[in-house]
Structure 1
Amino acid sequence: MCNSNIHLLVVILSSFIYFIGHVVGIEVNIAAILPEDDRRLFSMKHAAPAIEYAIEHLKNNTDLLNGHTFKVRYGDTNCSPAKGMNEAYEFFIKKQVDVFLGPVCDFVLAPVARQTMFWNIPLLSVGAFAKQFNDDRLDEFRMLSRVGPVNFNSMSNAYLDMVKYFNWNKFKIIFEEAGQAEYMEGMCYLAASALHFESQSSKHNMTQDHFKLEGHFVIEDILRLEVGLNYGGSILPSTRQNLFPIEHAIIAIEYAIEYLQNNTDILYGHTINVRYGDTSCIEAKGMNEAINFYSVHNATVFFGPVCDFVVAVVARQAVYWNTPIVTVGALAQDFAASRMKEYNLLTRVGPVTFDSVARSFLAVSKFYNWVRFKILYEDKGQDEYMESVCFLAAKGLHLESRATMKPDNYKLEENYDIESILRSEIGKSYSGE
């Protein structure tokens, strides 16, 4: 939980003290009903330090308590509506609650938040992602206050802003009804539902459709049948580890060639012959594949590599061969910085680089008037997807931010304890984790 949320919690707890300030020695009962399972969003283990920090801050750094105290009791909802409602009821019937912190899972939060109106007990939550909480906030959820920065409405608005920016006029939502259920029940369904309804009410002229993934689906078949030529498409998670594996690229390449052959006159009798080589995201292997294609097969253009360290060596060599490279990789800041010298035959077709990620973060920083931050990263983090992806992302953010902010960084070593790292490296000095 970032410091801005902790500070908000401090303000909220302070407000309780303000309203009872004329009474001496009141004990404010906080019932924190949260999932104990650490796979869940905002689990008890993650939320408890923030709650305790807020109370400690009030006690040691302010005069607001004035003899008042907080008593925090925890209950495990297990993200189950029945169990969450029972925990809330037990705290209420035993007169052990003046304010609820949580639930955080939407299907648990909804019935508890409705009941708190009859109990006249306020409820604070970083959950309430679903669109319904915003639509019915004055009717069913009057005692509920959200303290989280993002919900599915804001996610939908961000997506629709992007749709408007690129002048897209239709899209299709492909979702698993139980997708990401290990984090929150109905997460993908609620996100898809919010995007569906938000786009319907948008003034931007667009057509949207949706498709629910059933059972053991084959994503390649779904993309051909449900997306095909008719929609802008979507990039979905795969069980394959590397970014942009051959199995995914083949579909796009073959589809593009088929489209040119059947729907245009661009080829004018020319043919396109595609050969594939496996780089395994290894520099030496990728370079060897490129040499073979150039010397044996007289390659006219390279599609890939996509892993940055492999792209770099092949793209430098391609300059001497006068052979263009097209890639969705080249995410690192170095490719943009040296594009006119070392990589002048390289063309990126991907929508995102680490530079653009950094600029997005800096835009958020500017909006919230943040002046410094600290990057915590694993040198080998996410290496199963692309070698040094976390290091390259951290480097891009560091270099992009130096001109306007005061970045610092900390490399996480093996077998680190994240709670200790957050206390020692973040503490009260930075605005986030």
Structure 2
Amino acid sequence: MAKIKAGRFGWRKVMLMYETDAYDTVSGDQSCFLAMSSLVNFFKAKNVTYGYFNLEKNRHISLRNNLRSEIGLDYADLFLGPMCDYVIAAVARYAAIWGVPVVTPSAQANAFLDKQGQFRTLTRIMGSYHQLGAVFQPVMQLFDWRVAGLLYEEFDTTEHKGHHSCNFMMKAVYEGMKVKPTYRKFLSSSPRLDFASLLREMAKSARIIILCASPHRVREILLVADDLNMVSSGEYVFFNVELSTR
């Protein structure tokens, strides 16, 4: 991010939008706050006016009212962040109407591919999940694999968190592979999960299994798979899409 050339684009007012722990599963607690704080010295050196907008502390008001009252229609020349896909979707739609650029390491879901329409001012510095589907497709073709099993983590609807990032990632893989899929999901809030039953069910139709879950869940799944002789038998292939680095 330090390579951003504010002078080149004429940016003089930048709004740093973040949720303190929005990416805690990737790089730890308060990672978003620390990332935004690291940009402050850079903006000071470039004589760029900046402001903070903590989405977490402003949940009691609608995002639209927040943007109007706290930012205004002409406050910022650039929005950095936020991380949550649901929040960035709303911010990017308003920013497109106002003609304000939005730069974020998030927004990797396929829905944000609409660069000619509602997300025309959005720039994603980490690409998209669509690229993962493009990676798996030639691998499946090379080995003539016809069916893939997708096993991923999801939020419980009662938690009101929307979809897990693994849901968005698996959708992109499903659309990109162009092979017959079978899928199973499990709730991240469940303290005890019967992975043996999930794996046995998937084994009825797939030998290629793609995983997306938190590191400790992936470890549990592979240990159970080993107990079921799915690892050492040579009959199954496991891919783990690592969205977390902790």
Shorter chain as denominator, the TM-score bin is 0.7 to 0.9
Q: 1:229: how far off?
A: 5.8
Select which of 193, 208, 211 maps to 2:171.
Answer: 193
Select which of 33, 38, 56 maps to 1:44.
Answer: 33
Over residues 126-153 of structure 1, what are the superposed CA-to-partner deviations in whole Å (9 max), with x where a residue is unaligned? 111101111x1111111112222x4211
Q: 1:350: how far off?
A: 9.0
Q: 1:93: how far off?
A: 2.2
- Kept in 1, the 8 Å contact 2:155–2:162? The answer is no
Are residues 1:225 and 2:181 paired?
A: no
Are residues 1:33 and 2:17 paired?
A: yes
- Kept in 1, the 8 Å contact 2:225–2:231? The answer is no
- Kept in 2, the 8 Å contact 1:175–1:192? The answer is yes
SS in 2 for 1:107: helix
Identify if the C-alpha distance between structure 1 residues 254 and 138 changes in structure 2 by more than 3 Å, giving closer, same or farther. closer
Give the 5 Å matches for 1:195-210: 195-200=173-178, 206-210=179-183
Select which of 1, 6, 27 maps to 2:2.
Answer: 6
Q: 1:243: how far off?
A: 10
Give the residue type in structure 2 aligned to 1:32: L
Q: 1:116: how far off?
A: 1.3
Q: 1:219: how far off?
A: 0.7
- Kept in 2, the 8 Å contact 1:33–1:88? The answer is no
Identify if the C-alpha distance between structure 1 residues 117 and 253 changes in structure 2 by more than 3 Å, giving closer, same or farther. closer
Give the residue type in structure 1 aligned to 2:198: I
Please give the alpha-carbon distance, in whole angstroms, between the structure 2 residues aligned to 1:100 and 1:251.
Answer: 49
Give the 5 Å matches for 1:113-132: 113-132=92-111
Q: 1:72: how far off?
A: 1.2
Percent of residue pairs identical: 16
Identify if the C-alpha distance between structure 1 residues 233 and 46 changes in structure 2 by more than 3 Å, giving closer, same or farther. same
Identify if the C-alpha distance between structure 1 residues 159 and 78 changes in structure 2 by more than 3 Å, giving closer, same or farther. farther
TM-score (norm 1): 0.44
Look up the match of 1:15: 8
Look up the match of 1:75: 53
Give the residue type in structure 2 aligned to 1:152: Y
SS in 2 for 1:112: helix
Q: How many residues align?
A: 225
Please give the alpha-carbon distance, in whole angstroms, between the structure 1 residues aligned to 2:89 and 2:124.
Answer: 12
- Kept in 2, the 8 Å contact 1:91–1:97? The answer is no
Over residues 210-235 of structure 1, what are the superposed CA-to-partner deviations in whole Å (9 max), with x where a residue is unaligned? 22325553111100012346332345
Please give the alpha-carbon distance, in whole angstroms, between the structure 1 residues aligned to 2:17 and 2:208.
Answer: 42
Select which of 125, 142, 145 maps to 1:168.
Answer: 145
- Structure with the greater alpha carbon radius of gyration: 1
Please give the alpha-carbon distance, in whole angstroms, between the structure 1 residues aligned to 2:52 and 2:128.
Answer: 25
- Kept in 1, the 8 Å contact 2:137–2:177? The answer is yes
Give the residue type in structure 1 aligned to 2:24: R
**Whose relative contact order is higher, 1 or 2, with alpha carbons under 8 Å and at least 6 apart?**
2
SS in 2 for 1:188: helix
Please give the alpha-carbon distance, in whole angstroms, between the structure 1 residues aligned to 2:41 and 2:142.
Answer: 42
Please give the alpha-carbon distance, in whole angstroms, between the structure 1 residues aligned to 2:35 and 2:141.
Answer: 37
Identify if the C-alpha distance between structure 1 residues 81 and 6 changes in structure 2 by more than 3 Å, giving closer, same or farther. farther
Q: 1:45: how far off?
A: 1.1
SS in 1 for 2:208: coil
Please give the alpha-carbon distance, in whole angstroms, between the structure 2 residues aligned to 1:240 and 1:199.
Answer: 22
**Structure 2: any 5+ residue segments left out of the alignment?**
240-245
Look up the match of 1:146: 124
- Kept in 1, the 8 Å contact 2:133–2:173? The answer is yes
More strand by proportion, 1 or 2? 2
RMSD of the TM alignment (CA)? 3.8
SS in 1 for 2:2: helix
Please give the alpha-carbon distance, in whole angstroms, between the structure 2 residues aligned to 1:144 and 1:78.
Answer: 22
Look up the match of 2:243: none
Over residues 156-179 of structure 1, what are the superposed CA-to-partner deviations in whole Å (9 max), with x where a residue is unaligned? 222223323333222021222229
Look up the match of 1:137: 115
Q: 1:81: how far off?
A: 11
Identify if the C-alpha distance between structure 1 residues 184 and 158 changes in structure 2 by more than 3 Å, giving closer, same or farther. farther
Please give the alpha-carbon distance, in whole angstroms, between the structure 2 residues aligned to 1:251 and 1:100.
Answer: 49
Q: 1:240: how far off?
A: 9.1
Identify if the C-alpha distance between structure 1 residues 133 and 234 changes in structure 2 by more than 3 Å, giving closer, same or farther. closer
Identify if the C-alpha distance between structure 1 residues 171 and 107 changes in structure 2 by more than 3 Å, giving closer, same or farther. same
SS in 2 for 1:88: helix
Over residues 379-433 of structure 1, what are the superposed CA-to-partner deviations in whole Å (9 max), with x where a residue is unaligned? xxx9xxxxxxxxxxxxxxxxxxxxxxxxxxxxxxxxxxxxxxxxxxxxxxxxxxx
SS in 2 for 1:78: helix
Look up the match of 2:185: 212
Identify if the C-alpha distance between structure 1 residues 165 and 85 changes in structure 2 by more than 3 Å, giving closer, same or farther. farther
